């Protein structure tokens, strides 16, 4: 069941939608890979498509459940801003960032299970000094809590199984 959930979440992360402003043509692909000890490696590939006129200068990924975040990596010209317990990891370029026609890989490890989280990508247009943004949902560290109705259905199933078992025992002793 856990692998099925992870596969579905990974597919949703790859298919995550994003909205961008004109001239800022970017895409993101996210994945989560379970590691030894129950941790997950979250990886993001940001692509500044060749048709874009603006370089990627910042990437923000929300952490709905920031448990045990570690091993944060980014391209060499990005600073990482994160303190334990923060709800967001921010990657900020200190030079050119990711130029149109290029890509960058960002990653981190977390004990939190995969789910959909908010992301935003920011580009700074150096000719007009305006920021352009793209945002959407992508796979990330999220808390996974079962719906109350799922727990109720499980309880009903267990009670029904006990009832069936008790009934079958009564029929055996009556014979």
Q: What is the pLDDT of residues 147-165, one digit of tens each?
A: 555 556 666 766 666 666 6
> Residue 88: exposed, middle, or buried by beta-carbon count in 10 A (0-12, 13-18, 19+)?
middle
Question: 103 and 20 in one domain?
Answer: yes
What residues does 109 pair with on adjacent strands?
41, 70
CA distances from 51 to 26, 28, 95, 134 (A): 9, 15, 21, 15
- Type and span of the H or E element at 156: helix 148-174
State how far the Cα of 6 lies from the Cα of 69, in Å rounded to an integer: 19
Residue 72 domain boundaries: 2-144
pTM over 0.95: no
Q: What is the mean pLDDT of residues 128-136?
A: 82
Same domain assignment for residues 86 and 140: yes
Q: Check residue 94 and give its pLDDT.
A: 85
For the stretch 15-74, pLDDT in tens is 343 444 557 888 888 888 998 888 899 999 999 999 888 889 999 998 877 778 899 999
pLDDT at position 170 over 90: no
Residue 70 sits in the same domain as residue 35: yes
Same-domain check for residues 115 and 151: no
Claim to verify: residue 64 and residue 40 sit in the same structural domain: yes
Tell me the CATH number at 34: 2.60.40.740
Q: Contact, 138 vs 30, CB < 8 A?
A: yes
- The verdict on 68 and 140 lying in the same domain is yes
Average pLDDT, the chain: 76
Over range 72-93, report the average pLDDT: 91
pLDDT score recorded for residue 164: 62
pLDDT of residue 8 exceeding 60, the answer is no
């Amino acid at each position: 069941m856990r692998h099925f959930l992870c596969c579905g979440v990974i597919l949703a992360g790859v298919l995550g939608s994003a909205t961008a402003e004109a001239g800022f043509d970017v895409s993101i692909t996210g994945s989560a890979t379970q590691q030894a000890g129950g941790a997950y490696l979250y990886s993001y590939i940001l692509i500044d498509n060749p048709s874009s006129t603006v370089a990627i200068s910042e990437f923000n990924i929300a952490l709905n459940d920031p448990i045990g975040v570690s091993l944060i990596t980014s391209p060499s010209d990005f600073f990482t801003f994160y303190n334990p317990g923060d709800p967001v990891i921010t990657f900020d370029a200190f030079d050119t960032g990711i130029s149109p026609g290029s890509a960058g890989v960002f990653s981190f490890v977390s004990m939190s299970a995969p789910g959909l989280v908010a992301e935003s990508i920011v580009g700074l247009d150096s000719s007009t000094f305006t920021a352009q943004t793209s945002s959407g949902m992508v796979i990330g560290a999220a808390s996974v809590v079962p719906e109350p109705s799922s727990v109720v259905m499980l309880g009903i199933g267990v009670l029904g199984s006990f009832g069936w078992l008790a009934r079958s025992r009564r029929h055996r002793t009556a014979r």
